[in-house]
Amino acid sequence: MNLLLFSDSDRLAPDQIALHGRRLQHLLQVHRATVGDILRVGEVNGLIGEGKILEINDATAVLALSLAQPPPAKLPLYLVLALPRPKMLRRILRSVAEFGVAELHLINSYRVEKSYWQSPVLGEGTIREYLLQGLEQSCDTVVPVVHCQRRFKPFVEDFLPGMLEGKRALLAHPGEYPPCPRDISGETLLVIGPEGGFIPYEVEQLQRAGCEVVSLGPRILRVENAVSGALGRLF
């Protein structure tokens, strides 16, 4: 935990917070924090600064706040991702927050198993928890926006065209396609399919909507590696 995140519900006063649960245990067991220690803290969707421990015991930690630094800028990126298996989704949510992706759309695909949509990982609270873990790692406070689009065709035909306005749209897909560009600027929408890629019909629909098909290389990557590789290459 490189940044201790808190929310308005943790406030005792405008410049003071009380922490319990997981964050308190991290302070006690990992930081071995004591009264007087100064930690890097940030308010969820707010500023970053310092927190000085005024009191700490097995039940609570009270910190005095000094916040002045804005969070790092987000990538100019909208990520559209075919819903991966739940275990992989947990890691991807953390990575999305770490890289600074502003908005994530999880969509359906022919190769996405129906059971994935029933996973408890898709619960609003669980998604938020994994995103917060990524923010803690990367010293960011702004929680990415996550949308779940359970029907492929309505998303591509009705929703995607509006998202593409003013953006360059890239579809990373296995095959003989031009290489994914490097170090681009401007707002970008990146689409990544399930392992093995979208089926031909889905690729055609995405192209028709305005997506440019590009390749990440001759190897077929796991979704989490495709996400990391593409983001590192693009930005």
3-state secondary structure the chain: CCCEEECHHHEEECCEEEECHHHHHHHHHHHCCCCCCEEEEEECCCCEEEEEEEEECCCCEEEEEEEEECCCCCCCEEEEEECCCHHHHHHHHHHHHHHCCCEEEEECCCCCCHHHHHCHHHCHHHHHHHHHHHHHHHCCCCCCEEEEECCHHHHHHHHHHHHHCCCEEEEECCCCCCECCCCCCCCEEEEECCCCCCCHHHHHHHHHHCCEEEECCCCCCCHHHHHHHHHHHHC
Reported pTM: 0.92
The answer regarding whether domain 4-69 maps to CATH 2.40.240.20 reads: yes
| Angle in degrees, CA 41, 47, 51, rounded to 5 | 25
Residue 196: pLDDT band with limits 50, 70, 90: confident
Residue 1: pLDDT band with limits 50, 70, 90: confident
Kindly report, residue by residue over 37-80, the tens digit of the pLDDT.
999 999 999 999 999 999 999 999 999 999 999 999 999 999 99
Q: Which residues of 21-45 are buried (b: 16+ CB within 10 A; e: fewer)?
A: eebbebbeeeeebeeeeebebbbbe
> In the chain, where are the structural domains located?
4-69, 77-234
CATH of 77-234 given 3.40.50.720, 3.40.1280.10, 3.40.50.1440, 3.30.460.10: 3.40.1280.10
Q: Examine domains 4-69 and 77-234 and report if their fold is the same.
A: no
Whether the per-residue pLDDT at 185 is higher than 90: the answer is no
